[in-house]
Every structure is written in C-alpha cells, then in structure tokens.
Structure 1
C-alpha cells in the first residue's frame, strides 16, 4: 500500500456529443465519497473541441501543478492523450468507456459520430435528434436531446472532430506510470468492453471496473463508481 495522499480534485471531460452535465451526474457522487472535488469544463465549440479541451487542461495544470484527469468515451481519450504528453503533471487517470486506441478506423463509436455529423449537416439538429433517439432508452434520449441542443451550430463539426481523432496507442499508454482506473459497460456495443480491457492491460498501474448500460440507465453513478473504485485500487497499490 502506498502512503501517497489522494489528489483533491479531478478534471473530467464528456464524450462525443455529450456535455459536462452528464459527466457530473456520473462522477460527482462517487468522487465525493473519497473527498474529491470535480471540475467539468463545458465542451469547446465545434472543431475546437479537442484542442480546446487540451488547452483547458494545460491551463488548469499551470494553476494547480498536477491534475487527476479523465472522462467518458472521447473525453477519456483526450484525458489520456494529455496525460501521455504531460506525465509530470498528471496525478492519475480515470477513463470510462474508451472507444478505440490509435486510429479510429471502423470503431463503432467513430462510425456513429460520423453518421450523426452527416445527419445533422444534412437535416438539422432536430431532425437528427428525432432519428437518433428513435428506439433508444428514454434516459439516453433525454441526455442526447439536452446535450445536442446545447452544442448549437457547432454540433456537426464537434461530432466530426471527435470521430476522426486518434486515441493514444496502447504502446503510449504503457509508458504512463500513474494510477489509472478504467470503466467499462459489458453490454455496450458502441464502447466495446474489450477496448477498456486492452487499456487496463496496457497501462502499467491500472485496474478495471465493470458495470452495464442497464445499470447506467437506472443509476448514472454506477459507471462513476466502477471507474473511481478501479482508480482507487490502482492508487492504493501504486509505488511511484
């Protein structure tokens, strides 16, 4: 067991087409049980999504020294990308639902974001929402409706930017020596649990936590608990 002190605050980023409201619903409660605060920056607009978030993390690190970073889906990718580039400024990683590693290729989440971007461009946000939420669970329809409408005119470009950006390669994750908690939903075809398992295997000080989309629909914090508890296991066994 390490005697390292827990960080005081985590900075967590949302996934593609999502927003900080969802991240807070997932993570605020589980982090609070450990006495950790939470910062959830709103998505930068349009094609500035990735670069804007990386700049926000740079600015926060300049202010706080080191950061516990993470996110959901594309937000997890960006947090891991920043951590790989800034190992001396990263105190840990919480990555829920990573969707691919390296180039996105035909990854389901990338394909879905590209199709959604094309649909928004062609038909507008409201028509795209109607098509994208048809047949999905009500909780997911509610989340998408709020987040997509909040993105405004930048939605299509934001979706496209996320769909096309590479995630860290597994070899790059292997070089990241901080404690990492990886969260997966075992029944999620868009964020295959095998990707999360690959991330957990590649990171040298990582643990994996699992839940299901069914549980997430009933309790947003189920994914946060799985990820935070995985990070805590990694943290308590980590020897710098």
Structure 2
C-alpha cells in the first residue's frame, strides 16, 4: 500500500467501554489525516473477546487495527495472527503484556464485576463514578448501562484474557502508534513504553487524563501522531 493512501482503521473499545467512546477519541484525529474509521459495537457477555476478534476477521483489505486498552490488546493479537491483513497499529492505553495477573486494570475489572454481581449494576456504577472526573463518569454511566445484565461477564472476560506476549509484539513490523496517559495508574505508562520498545516500528505518544477532561481527542491525537512518525520514519 502506498504511503499516500491511508488505510481504514478498525478500532475496538476497552473493558466496560463502548464504540461511542472510541469514536469520540479517534474520529477527529483520523479524519484530519484522511483515515476512515470503523468502530464495531461490543457484544456483551462471556464471548465478548471472541466477538471483538470476529469483527476484525470480517474486515476486508489491509487495515489499521487496535483501540483502547482491551482493544489495543486484541488488535495487536489479531495483527500477530494476520500479518498480511494489518497495515498498522493504533494502540492506546495498553494495560498489560501476556498474563493479566496483578495488572491494575484487570484487578479493577474483576472487582467491579464482583460488585455488580453482589449489589447490582446501578449500585456498583454509583461507587465506580464517585470521585472521578465528570467526563469519565458520564462515559462509564452510558457504557455500563449499555452492557446491561451482561456487564459482569464482560468485565471478567476482558480481565481474564491474556494480552499480547513479547514475542507477538516483536513480530509486528508494521508502523505502530502507542499512547499513554501519564497520570493513569490503571494503564501504567511503563506498559506503553515496553510495548513501544518491543514493536520494531513504533513511536510512543503521551497525554493525560487531565487533558482529556476538556479534550477527549487528546488521546487519539497522541496515538495517531505516534503512528504517523512510525509510518514515515526512514
């Protein structure tokens, strides 16, 4: 594919998140560089991960893949299994490499799932949004309610799924943009740095949750700019 013909991007949401948030983060930055965006809607339940990967399998032609958190994990795993179908990677907020044991994001998802099962969705949601920034509270409220009774199963399916191993990342020779929020303890910047170092053609971009409180596209721009640097690097 010519560097003058940007591929379509197919991006997946994070754990307990949805396609609405992915689009709000990435649509503007990708449109600015002429890249069309598809954001498959999650199919809640125990087969959440399987459904996400099936959505990638259904794509035609080499595409940019990735997403946010879990979406980044699944995009990288899919690309490693389908190298001839991947034109590049947009990997925002990777949460762990390989096994999820001990990863803050996985622990948080399992805790939330247990709370939903114990007290119900609305009570668990009320706790989850207490003390968080208004924009994040609004995102969680819409997305969690959208998952409905399948929320706990979805959270557990995401938390239990391994991320890409080091060998998966080193096998990916396409341009990759990795991005992290420097003030996000759930998605440690050290993980994003490790991914950027393992990927053969990657750049790391950074922003902050504080910046996203007034400009949610900050995360998308950081990821897309990192991908562009990797893409045009010689």
TM-score (norm 1): 0.95
Residue equivalent to 2:206: 210
2:160 match: 164
Q: Distance in 1 between matches of 2:79 and 2:167?
A: 14
- Report SS of the residue matched to 1:207: strand
1:17 aligns with 2:13: no
Contact 1:10 1:39 in 2 (8 A): yes
Question: Counterpart of 1:178 in 2: which secondary structure?
Answer: coil
Structure 2 distance, partners of 1:165, 1:154, is 17
Give the secondary-structure state (helix, strand or coil) at the position aligned to 1:26.
Answer: helix
Shift of 1:216: 1.1
Offset, 1:5: 3.3
Deviation string, structure 1 residues 69-126 (Cα, Å, up to 9, x no partner): 0100011001111001111110000000000000011100000000001111111110
Is the partner of 2:172 in helix, strand or coil?
Answer: coil
Match of 1:237 in 2: 233
User: Structure 1: how far apart are the matches of 2:192 and 2:214?
Assistant: 22
How many Å separate the matches in 1 of 2:200 and 2:115? 40
* Structure 2: 5+ residue stretches without partners: none
1:56 matched residue in structure 2: 55
How many residues in Structure 1 have an aligned counterpart in Structure 2? 234
RMSD: 1.2
Q: Deviations over 1:152-206 (max 9, x none)?
A: 1110000000001100112220011110000100111000001000000000000
* Maintained 8 Å contact 2:178/2:195: yes
Q: Which runs of 4+ in 1 moved over 2 A?
A: 2-8
2-structure distance, mates of 1:4, 1:39: 20
The alignment partner of 1:100 has SS state of coil
Decide whether aligned partners of structure 1 residues 175 and 8 sit closer, same or farther in structure 2, where only a CA change above 3 A counts: closer
TM value normalised by structure 2: 0.98
Aligned-partner Cα distance in 2 for 1:83–1:129:
34
1:95 aligns with one of 91, 95, 101: 91
| Match for residue 224 of structure 1 among 199, 220, 225 | 220
Is contact 2:7–2:63 with CA below 8 Å preserved after alignment? no
**Counterpart Cα distance in 1 of 2:148 and 2:47:** 14
1:4 deviation in Å?
A: 2.5
Query: Is the Cα–Cα contact under 8 Å of residues 7 and 91 in structure 1 kept in the other structure?
Result: no
